[in-house]
């Protein structure tokens, strides 16, 4: 009872403080048309009530989290129903089949606008899965990942503009160029870790954006490159709706291909080396793992997917400029990986859909979207730091000795 009263008092104080902080934004509004100041006092009441409820709920969830941690420390292992389902291979394959059927039927059910939004979400799914290799599996914090995305987009735009290269010819070229730039970035920073690594990768995106803005002879500067060809299909002329559906199916195929490859990589020898590097770099090197090759492979493979999807992005928009590849885009991709669950493929997919689709469908609350985004990230870091769906490590058990003991 004492704890409840204490939480109640603290929630009231937080509510008052939050009202004070948001007063200029939520209550005061200057009407420039009539040159008057409008006072929205009802907003003040709603802010106070909302802050109190959220604060009290926050403390309640924190208390529950501490109780669960105590239970875990006592050795009681609890596993949620979701994790048990995810460990069931038959359930995984059935769920993938259902999702694939829904994805294939999507453009036939919904209009072109919804299909275009879904293409954007699928682009971020591939970007999230690519960054998940470096950040989620290998533990290499990359704040400049969108630069590889830009390399792929500009490779198609320039080759199409100057040499009339088609989409399908440039798709592998964009991936290979992204891979090459990943190696070029990764090689000089092999010995860096943590914050220093993040700062260098952040500098890479700044260099890329500055070069694209100022090297007008190559990239046409801030004006960008327009009239980029859309993907072709045996020379068939397609209108905008048909072309959008065609790009959607290409994007679905790319997502499926990315998921299959990343699943195989995660359970391979190099995937286990990435995970070992993420857990303890010193122990990883002591066990005989080549740190240079492991880091470079993580950068190269992650950049490969960004380069490929960059080509498709340029083909979808038919126009690109340096403003499309900013640090904010890198932050969103990194947020997708963190929110979904570092190392988790399904978590990254869900994170991409949440962060890309929800803002589109909540345009009525456009003034508060960034506020809601920041609040969601803070709540996730406190109550679910492992992400929406935490990575489930594959377990191997040798039952031969046990069976021999039982038979003997």
- pLDDT score of 149: 93
Contact present, 388 and 340 (Cβ < 8 Å): yes
d(CA 368, CA 107): 30
CA–CA gap between residue 312 and residue 318 (Å, rounded): 10
Give the integer Cα–Cα distance in Å for 244 and 100: 18
Of the candidates 309, 304, 300, 302, the one whose C-alpha atom is nearest the C-alpha of residue 167 is: 309
Find the helix packing angle between 240-266 and 345-361, rounded to 10°. 150
What is the rounded CA–CA span in Å between residue 220 and residue 214? Answer: 8
pLDDT at residue number 331: 87
Quick check: 122 and 311 in contact, CB under 8 A?
Answer: no
Task: Give me the pLDDT at residue 290, please.
Answer: 86
Q: Which domains does the chain have, with CATH numbers?
A: 2-73 (no CATH), 110-383 (1.10.3470)
Gap between the Cα atoms of 54 and 75, Å rounded = 32
Query: According to the model, what pLDDT value does residue 258 have?
Result: 92
| Run of H or E including 4 | helix 2-26
Closest alpha carbon to 65 in 342, 350, 381, 389: 381
For 187-290, where are the alpha helices, taking DSSP H only?
A: 194-214, 216-219, 240-266, 269-279, 281-286
CA dihedral 217, 221, 226, 231 (to 10 degrees): 80
For the stretch 186-201, what's the b/e string if a residue is b when 16 or more beta carbons lie within 10 angstroms of its beta carbon?
beebeeeeeeebbebb
Contacts of 356 (CB under 8 A, 6+ apart): 120, 121, 124
CA-nearest of 140, 131, 178 to 347 is 131
The pLDDT value recorded for residue 393 is 57
- Cβ(327)–Cβ(313) below 8 Å: no
Token digits for 305? 């997917």
d(CA 389, CA 345): 9
170 and 159 in contact (C-beta within 8 Å)?
yes
CB contact at 8 A, 335 and 347: no
Q: What pLDDT, on a 0 to 100 scale, did the predictor assign at position 155?
A: 93
Question: Tell me, what's the pLDDT at 360?
Answer: 80
Dist. CA 9–CA 56, nearest whole Å: 10
**pLDDT given for residue 240 in this prediction:** 82
For 36-146, strand residue ranges (E) read 36-39
What pLDDT, on the 0 to 100 scale, is given for residue 96?
73
Q: What pLDDT shows up at residue 76?
A: 43
Against a cut of 0.75, is the pTM above it?
A: yes
Full pLDDT tens readout for the chain, 408 residues: 566 677 777 778 878 877 777 777 777 777 777 777 777 777 778 878 877 787 777 777 777 766 766 665 554 444 444 555 555 555 566 767 778 888 888 888 888 889 999 999 999 999 999 999 988 888 888 888 999 999 999 999 999 988 888 899 999 999 999 999 999 888 888 777 777 888 888 888 888 888 888 888 888 888 889 889 888 887 777 888 888 999 999 999 999 999 999 888 888 888 888 888 888 888 888 888 888 888 889 989 999 999 999 999 999 999 999 988 888 888 889 888 888 888 788 888 888 888 888 878 777 666 666 777 777 777 777 667 777 776 655 555 556 655 555 555
User: What pLDDT does residue 1 have?
Assistant: 56
Residue 291, number of CB atoms within 10 A of its CB: 15
pLDDT given at position 341: 82
- The whole-angstrom separation of Cα 29 and Cα 77 is 53
């Amino acid at each position: 009872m004492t704890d409840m009263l204490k939480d109640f008092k603290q929630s009231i104080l937080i509510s008052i403080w939050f009202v004070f902080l948001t007063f200029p934004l939520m209550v005061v509004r200057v009407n420039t048309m009539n040159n008057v100041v409008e006072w929205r006092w009802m907003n003040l009441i709603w802010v106070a009530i909302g802050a109190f409820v959220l604060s009290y709920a926050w403390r309640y969830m924190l208390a529950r989290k501490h109780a669960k941690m105590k239970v875990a420390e006592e050795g009681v292992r609890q596993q949620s129903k979701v994790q048990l389902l995810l460990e069931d291979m038959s359930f995984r394959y059935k769920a993938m089949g259902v999702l694939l059927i829904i994805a294939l039927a999507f453009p036939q059910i919904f209009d072109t606008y919804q299909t275009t939004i879904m293409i954007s979400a699928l682009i971020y799914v591939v970007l999230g899965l690519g960054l998940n290799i470096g950040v989620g599996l290998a533990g290499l914090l990359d704040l400049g990942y969108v630069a590889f995305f830009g390399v792929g987009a500009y490779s198609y735009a320039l080759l199409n503009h100057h040499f009339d290269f088609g989409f399908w010819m440039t798709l592998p070229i964009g991936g290979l160029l992204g891979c090459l730039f990943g190696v070029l970035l990764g090689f000089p920073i092999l010995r860096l870790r943590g914050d220093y690594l993040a700062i260098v990768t952040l500098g890479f995106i700044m260099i890329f954006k500055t070069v694209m803005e100022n090297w007008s002879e190559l990239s046409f500067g801030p004006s960008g490159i327009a009239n980029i060809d859309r993907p072709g299909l045996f020379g068939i002329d397609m209108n905008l709706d048909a072309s959008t559906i065609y790009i959607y199916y290409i994007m679905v195929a790319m997502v499926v291909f990315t998921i299959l490859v990343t699943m195989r990589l995660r359970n391979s020898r190099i995937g286990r080396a990435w995970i070992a590097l993420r857990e303890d770099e010193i122990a990883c090197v002591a066990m005989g793992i080549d740190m240079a090759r492991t880091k470079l492979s993580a950068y190269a493979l992650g950049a490969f997917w960004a380069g490929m999807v960059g080509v498709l992005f340029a083909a979808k928009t038919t126009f690109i400029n340096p403003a499309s590849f900013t640090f904010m885009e890198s932050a969103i991709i990194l947020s997708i990986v963190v929110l979904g669950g570092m190392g988790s493929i399904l978590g990254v997919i869900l994170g991409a859909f949440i962060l890309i689709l929800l803002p589109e469908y909540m345009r009525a609350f456009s003034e508060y979207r960034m506020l809601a985004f920041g609040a969601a990230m803070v709540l996730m870091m406190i109550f679910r730091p492992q992400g929406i769906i935490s990575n489930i490590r594959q377990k191997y058990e040798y039952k031969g000795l046990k069976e021999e003991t039982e038979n003997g």
